[in-house]
Structure 1
Amino acid sequence: MKYRLINEELNDKRKVLSITEIVLKNRGIDDPEAYLNLDDTALYHFSMLSNIDKAVEMLLKHIGNKSVIGIIVDSDCDGQCSASMLYQYLKEIYDDNNIIYFIHTKKQHGISPEIIIPESVKLLLVPDAGSNDVIQSELLSKRGIDIISLDHHEREVKDNPFAIIVNPKWDDEYPNWELSGGAVVYKFLQALDYELWENKADKYLDLVALSLISDSMDLRSPESKRLVDKGLSNIQNKLFTALIEKQNYSIGGIVNIINIQFYITPLINGMIRSSTLEEKELLFKAFCQMDEEFDYKKRGETETVKEDIYTRVARLCVNNKAKQNREIDKSLEEIIPKIERFGWDKNKILFVNADDLDNSYTGLVCMKLSSQYSKPCILLRETSWKPGYLGGSGRNYDGSPIANLKDFILSTGLFSMAQGHASSFGVEIEKENIRKAIEKVNELLKDVEFETQYKVDFVLDAREVTIEFVRELDKLKDYWGNNIKESLICVKNICFNTKDLQIMGKELNSWKFSINDDVMAIKFKCSEDDEILKLSSSDWGGTDIKINSIGKLNFSSYNGIITPQLILLDYEVVQIKDCTC
């Protein structure tokens, strides 16, 4: 069990600073008081985005010309949100017979080759993508098609002169780089509102919030956090509402960032990865609130009932997420023996041949492997579109000593492409360079140790774990999210007797006991080698134990009973029998 105190100086100031102040300062927020009380002064005016005026002018020109306008729906939650916002807004101001949309067949992005843009389209809108699609943009431009990219991805090319690019990461003037595709579309809709004397853009703030959370934007940004607050406080979209109702038990009726992140976004992305093209289109229609009813007969029932599109899509999301999980488990069962047999895990970065893996699951499997082996992972397969090249995904794990895996991979000079986020991106490399890349990575990282090291806010003695401390930390429960990570605590000198343990769970692999008669310590889903479970089962008379632990402090609510708890992520036994605390 390895840990590092984020800021020892702040840890020592607990008598001066509040717990919430220390936690937020540890996450790089200089003014916690302002962050906890954001208002609309945190928002920047849409006009600060370069090219947004040109994009509005271009769209209105095509509306005036009664052009056919196409929208590409990118293949993730942010893509669905941003495209559906555009579609719904355009339907209100333009003949929807002249608006068509294109949905990716699998997990492609942007103006990908499988999407055929018909000759009738004169303007192509590419939300959440398109900035770096220079070759595709040039081909469409030569056909007389205008392109507007409303994007937020980093610059991977020198320029794209064949499209109007509205992208804060391509913009030296806009102060906030932490906008999602949905948030960039929202700024565009605000600009349209201004030009058309309308007030429609704010109707889509719930989808803006969903897109910011789902695309893991840095919510330390005051503007991005304010947009999330406004969106989650007034959820109107019918599909978003149906998904929340579907997951109500899991989220305990609490709609906040971390619950959206863990229980809503995965359903949507699971649907996108695992569904048929027909189901993907149904998902988009539901996001666009195209009311529709279907005949539905539940399994084992004889009677057919009516099912609205939102209930249907929510049900299909759950089914496809379950299908995705089964496929991932199956893929891991096939890949892990290969890793062990060929010794791929001996390399500093886990390079894995993924030729037999469904392309839709590459990123998720890569993430699972990175977490399991506690090292960065690159999954590669032969590309069908570029002979002699391998393509795939790169993922980093939480606590990795490499802060920006994408930049590190590019720094080798052997990868022809790495696009996306710092710890989650697509990669491409010439097949003949893969061996050289592995050797170079091993050399560059020869002195780097990859292991899980927990970053903790506080180191406490067990006697300091009180209800008051839990209550203070619980004030931040609605703030936990990307880069405002839930607080981890190191608690030392926890003493108990194994006869006081309660063994729980269907598999009898979880346990709990009380600390200080106030806070319940809980360890879920332990392995067969769990030391405390072994001691508990072998000594019925009870054994005194002292442990140090890493965990999360919060409140649980079950059957109306609220319990302060320390959820253990890791622990070490420091003494058995004759324990002094």
Structure 2
Amino acid sequence: MSTNFSWEMRPTVGGIDFGPELNTLLPPLVRKLLAQRGITGKEQAEKFLYPRLADLGDPFSLAEMDKAVARIFDAIDNRQEICIYGDYDVDGVGSVTLLRAILRAYGAAPRFFIPIRTQEGYGLSEAGIARCMREGPLPNLLITVDCGTSSVEEVAALQAMGIDVIILDHHEAGPLGRPDAVAVINAKLETESPLTYLCSAGVVFKLAHALLKERKVPGFDLKHYLDIVAIATVADIVPLVAENRLLTRYGLKVLGEGRNIGLLALNEVAGMNRSPSASHVSFRIGPRINAAGRMDSPLDAVELLITQDSIRARALAQRLDSHNKARQAEEEKIRMEAIDMLHRHFDPANDHVIVLGSPTWHPGVVGIVASLLMRRYHKPTFIISIDENGLGKGSGRSIPGVSLVQAIHHCAEHLESGGGHDMAAGLVIREEKLDAFRKAFNAFVRETTSEKQRKPILHIDAEVTFPELTLDLLDSYELLEPFGNTNPQPVFMSRNIALTDVPKRLQGNHLRLFLKQGVSEHDAIYFNGGEMRLPDPPWDIAFTITRNVWRGRSSLSISIQDIRSSEP
């Protein structure tokens, strides 16, 4: 595989004057990065760089929050049976954990239920509800988290059984509209809510805030649960803007304090330091929690987050790590088989999408492989696991400018069902319809995008020289964190880079590079660089920077994003 990115410099919109104090504190490079993020003036800059929890908005601004609060307090006061019905990913598991904690603080004893991915599928499925009702007392109130917005028929069936339903969610509405629940708290159902960026754990946090505003609980500090909110927000790849960025910034600090025994054990298993970043959550914590649900053991993840026993926490953390290793092995198997299929049938010039399926692929892992192939080939991708009855369940990942939700609607005649977000979605399809869906999906992308939109672009934030890459720069640069969706980690470029030694191949097909610009030298890591066909030096390199802490000593770490032959 060779690199094929087109490098484009991001424009700087507006000036980089943020007042005498910030101008002195921040180097010009960091002020430029602020301007690129649409930050103008001293007030906006201070709010972005130094967010405060006091700036959180009124939780009752979310529609139907008052109805949810009233019904929950009614259930608590009358000692009614409450069941929390969640999802098997990080956001669902985190939402269950946080909601359980706040309800228990009020003296309730809620039970919780998480469906098994391969048996019951996502959300309020008929099979999931049936098992939920069998496994515990019939609830008077069922609260869904990270699901339920499109479950009109299922909610009606629960109501017919005498079970009230509250929905806490962030997914799009289905074609049948709003379920007839006691309350549906989902900013995406509102016409002009600014809170559509919240993940479900963020919605649950808002509910907890609202409950505490109405009725305080002595000794309960909601801030201590911000680590759960941060992990869910980062792992669910929702926009890190406004309150999401604020909750994540403080949540990562709580995560570093090690308050949650389970997360502390997982941090140790994952080899994390005590100053975790959003990147650590994305690549170490999130995948291990997700692996439990992907490998059909979602309760292991919930138990890890709620346990108060450090010995049990270590055992569960190791079990999640084992799930993750099994997931990685399954992922690699599917990835290699999918690439082999592409090499036999794929025409990059005319095939604008990737749609592949197999009866040997684990349904819990197809989404990860879809993401890997989408990034490698820059094509909207669906990877599908087909069961013994010829029914395929697939996950999709997309490129900028291609909405998978719109694509699913456009290709609905070939599908059993489908939905999700613009950039990540799921579908159900009959095996015999795969070719027809692939052709329809390909035509949709060809007709709704330009050739330029379909080409991979690497956006460069700024050009820097090696002497500028110092720990002093990192001190100011880190004020821009946490990085993620809508606040991406800046990508820098440096020109005329030479090698001082032969690249060293590391485990996992990664490369360690020994680089030099003039008299300044830096080592760099190129993840999956062993798969790349590197040009002859000298190079122009595109890269990101982070702080590496080893045995108490800090250094600036370079992570290569792309390499090209050096240009004038």
SS at match of 1:485: coil
1:295 counterpart residue number: none
> How far apart in 1 are the matches of 2:561 and 2:55?
36
- Following superposition, the deviation at residue 312 of structure 1 comes to 1.1
- Following superposition, the deviation at residue 488 of structure 1 comes to 0.9
- Following superposition, the deviation at residue 12 of structure 1 comes to 10
**Which of the numbers 151, 171, 177 marks the counterpart of 1:133?**
151
Identity %: 20
- Following superposition, the deviation at residue 55 of structure 1 comes to 1.2
- Following superposition, the deviation at residue 264 of structure 1 comes to 0.9
1:421 counterpart residue number: 421
Q: Aligned pair 1:172/2:163, yes or no?
A: no
1:240 counterpart residue number: 263
Amino acid paired to 1:422: D
Please say if residues 137 and 147 of structure 1, whose CA atoms lie closer than 8 Å, have aligned partners that are also in contact: yes
Please say if residues 512 and 523 of structure 1, whose CA atoms lie closer than 8 Å, have aligned partners that are also in contact: no
Summarize the alignment of residues 18-33 of structure 1 with structure 2, pairs less than 5 Å apart: 18-30=28-40, 31-33=44-46
**Which of the numbers 95, 99, 117 marks the counterpart of 1:106?**
117
Matched residue pairs, number?
533
- Following superposition, the deviation at residue 138 of structure 1 comes to 1.2
> How far apart in 2 are the matches of 1:470 and 1:90?
44
2:559 counterpart residue number: 567
Please say if residues 25 and 32 of structure 1, whose CA atoms lie closer than 8 Å, have aligned partners that are also in contact: no
Q: Aligned pair 1:343/2:362, yes or no?
A: no
TM-score by length of 2: 0.83
> How far apart in 2 are the matches of 1:531 and 1:90?
56
Q: Aligned pair 1:376/2:380, yes or no?
A: yes
Amino acid paired to 1:548: D
CA RMSD between the two structures? 3.3
1:225 counterpart residue number: 245
Q: C-alpha deviations, 1:154-201, integer Å up to 9, x for none? A: 222322124521112112354221112111112212222233332534
> How far apart in 2 are the matches of 1:187 and 1:473?
31
Q: Aligned pair 1:266/2:269, yes or no?
A: no
> How far apart in 2 are the matches of 1:206 and 1:564?
26
- Following superposition, the deviation at residue 103 of structure 1 comes to 2.2
Q: C-alpha deviations, 1:2-37, integer Å up to 9, x for none? A: 334343355997999832232233334453332112
Q: Aligned pair 1:308/2:294, yes or no?
A: no
User: Which residues of structure 1 form unaligned runs of 5+?
Assistant: 293-306, 536-544, 576-580
- Following superposition, the deviation at residue 416 of structure 1 comes to 6.1
2:368 counterpart residue number: 364
1:194 counterpart residue number: 213
> How far apart in 1 are the matches of 2:531 and 2:346?
25
SS at match of 1:486: coil
Q: C-alpha deviations, 1:59-116, integer Å up to 9, x for none? A: 22233443222111311111111111222222232352xx322221226322123322
> How far apart in 2 are the matches of 1:529 and 1:357?
26
Q: Aligned pair 1:150/2:149, yes or no?
A: no
Which structure has the larger Rg?
A: 1
Q: Aligned pair 1:453/2:453, yes or no?
A: no
Please say if residues 19 and 473 of structure 1, whose CA atoms lie closer than 8 Å, have aligned partners that are also in contact: no
- Following superposition, the deviation at residue 559 of structure 1 comes to 5.4
1:300 counterpart residue number: none
Q: Aligned pair 1:160/2:179, yes or no?
A: yes
Pair 124,564 (structure 1): closer, same or farther in 2 beyond 3 Å: closer
TM-score by length of 1: 0.82
> How far apart in 2 are the matches of 1:149 and 1:179?
14
Pair 195,252 (structure 1): closer, same or farther in 2 beyond 3 Å: closer
- Following superposition, the deviation at residue 473 of structure 1 comes to 6.7
- Following superposition, the deviation at residue 561 of structure 1 comes to 5.6
SS at match of 2:562: strand
Please say if residues 292 and 299 of structure 2, whose CA atoms lie closer than 8 Å, have aligned partners that are also in contact: no
Pair 65,9 (structure 1): closer, same or farther in 2 beyond 3 Å: closer
SS at match of 2:325: helix
2:61 counterpart residue number: 48
**Which of the numbers 394, 415, 422 marks the counterpart of 2:396?**
394
1:491 counterpart residue number: 494
Amino acid paired to 1:483: T
> How far apart in 2 are the matches of 1:144 and 1:174?
32
> How far apart in 1 are the matches of 2:466 and 2:65?
57
2:70 counterpart residue number: 57
- Following superposition, the deviation at residue 363 of structure 1 comes to 0.9
> How far apart in 1 are the matches of 2:31 and 2:379?
32
- Of residues 159-168 and 317-326 in structure 1, the stretch that sits farther from structure 2 once superposed is 159-168
Q: Aligned pair 1:184/2:206, yes or no?
A: no
SS at match of 2:513: strand
Amino acid paired to 2:318: R
SS at match of 2:254: coil
> How far apart in 2 are the matches of 1:46 and 1:528?
48
Q: C-alpha deviations, 1:388-445, integer Å up to 9, x for none? A: 975421112xxx3525333344345545644222211112457776544433443344
> How far apart in 1 are the matches of 2:273 and 2:504?
21
Amino acid paired to 2:332: D
1:550 counterpart residue number: 542
> How far apart in 1 are the matches of 2:545 and 2:6?
16
- Following superposition, the deviation at residue 563 of structure 1 comes to 4.4
- Of residues 359-368 and 557-566 in structure 1, the stretch that sits farther from structure 2 once superposed is 557-566
> How far apart in 1 are the matches of 2:268 and 2:391?
45
